[in-house]
Structures are given as structure tokens and as C-alpha cells.
Structure 1
Amino acid sequence: MVVSVAGFRASLSAAAPAAELDAPLAALWWAAKGKWDEAHRIVQDEETADSAWVHAYLHRVEGDLGNAAYWYRRAQKPVASDSLEAEWERIASALLGGERA
């Protein structure tokens, strides 16, 4: 299992995310690869707060800030205002570190 953000980043050289990643991390992995549709498909029907957080991030990447705000509320997270890269890092760190939304 990937346990650090560095290890998670290193796994981006693979063709697909590690099978043991849960839906939010798998979606975040695809997002880092620039595969928005694949990432969105994974989290759009998930009901967890972690998935909602990644879903919010994806809509922020897309530029749909109204939809992103809805998903931030569902995740019980503040609307992000830092760079997309910083937010990706923060989400990955929280999900890999066991801090759940």
C-alpha cells in the first residue's frame, strides 16, 4: 500500500492506480494524470466525505466553482482558495495519513 505522498506521486508512473487504493485516492491518482473524466467517474456516485472532497477538487479543476462549492459543503471542508497543486497535495496527505474528512 502507498503510505506517503512521495510514494503516491511515484506511483503516477504506472499505467493504473494500485488496486488497493480506495475510491477517493484512485480518483486523485487519475486527476494527477490529467484524466478528469476517469477521476470523476470514480467519485461521482460515492457517498463518503472523502469522495465528496475529491469531487469538489475535480470541479474546481474543471472551473465549475458553484458545483465545487456544493461538494465542499458535502465534504464539510472549506472552499479551497490556494493553488490546485497545493490542494491536491493537502488532500493526498490527509487521505494517506489517515485524517478522514
Structure 2
Amino acid sequence: MTLNTAIRHLEKGNWRKAHDVVQNDATEFGCWAHGIVHLLEGDLPNARYWYRRAHRAFPRAHDPSAEIDALVAAWKEDLRDARMAR
């Protein structure tokens, strides 16, 4: 999955590789990951744009690590819910 690849790059702090992965992912999770990319990069206006696209509140602390953890937790919950709905 592309999101999984992006998350691995984000966890390593490699925002450029993560950006290559998420730049064409228009899902809410992809947009959230894209926002985190720009947090890591330090481009806060662009990060805010992607958080809006993801329907997420922009984090006050600007802590990419906490955001990555939250993204992973939400994504896992979404996958679990999808499996249970089958």
C-alpha cells in the first residue's frame, strides 16, 4: 500500500520520499500524510492546506512525530473497521 510506504518514510524523517508517494493520493489519509510531509519540511502554509484537504485540525504543537503516530493509529483503526464490516 502506498500509505504504508509513505508512513515508513515519514517515520525515518525522509519527507522527500514520502512526498513522492503521497503527492497523488487524494484520500483523506493521503492528504493527512501530505500535510505531515510539509510539517517535516517546515512549510506550514502548505501543511495547513493539506490538513484542510484531509478534514483534520491543524496541530498546534507542529509535532510531526505525534502526527505520524496519530495517522498510524487512525489508519489501523480504519483498516480494522473495514475488515469487521465484511
Band the TM-score falls in, shorter-chain normalisation = 0.7 to 0.9
1:38, 1:52 → 2: CA distance? Answer: 15
Where in structure 2 are the equivalents of 1:5-16 lying within 5 Å?
none
Match 2:21 to one of 42, 58, 70: 42
Q: Which residue of 1 aligns with 2:33?
A: 54
Aligned length: 79
Larger fraction in helix: 2
Structure 2: which 5+ residue stretches go unaligned?
82-86
1:50, 1:57 → 2: CA distance? Answer: 11
> Percent identity over the alignment?
34
Structure 1: which 5+ residue stretches go unaligned?
1-21
Q: Which residue of 1 aligns with 2:69?
A: 89
Q: What root-mean-square deviation, in Å, do the aligned CA atoms of Structure 1 and Structure 2 show?
A: 1.7
Q: By how many angstroms is 1:24 displaced?
A: 2.0
- Residue-by-residue CA offset, 1:12-70 (whole Å, 9 max, x unaligned): xxxxxxxxxx2222201111122221111000011111100000011011110000010
Q: TM-score, normalised by structure 2?
A: 0.82
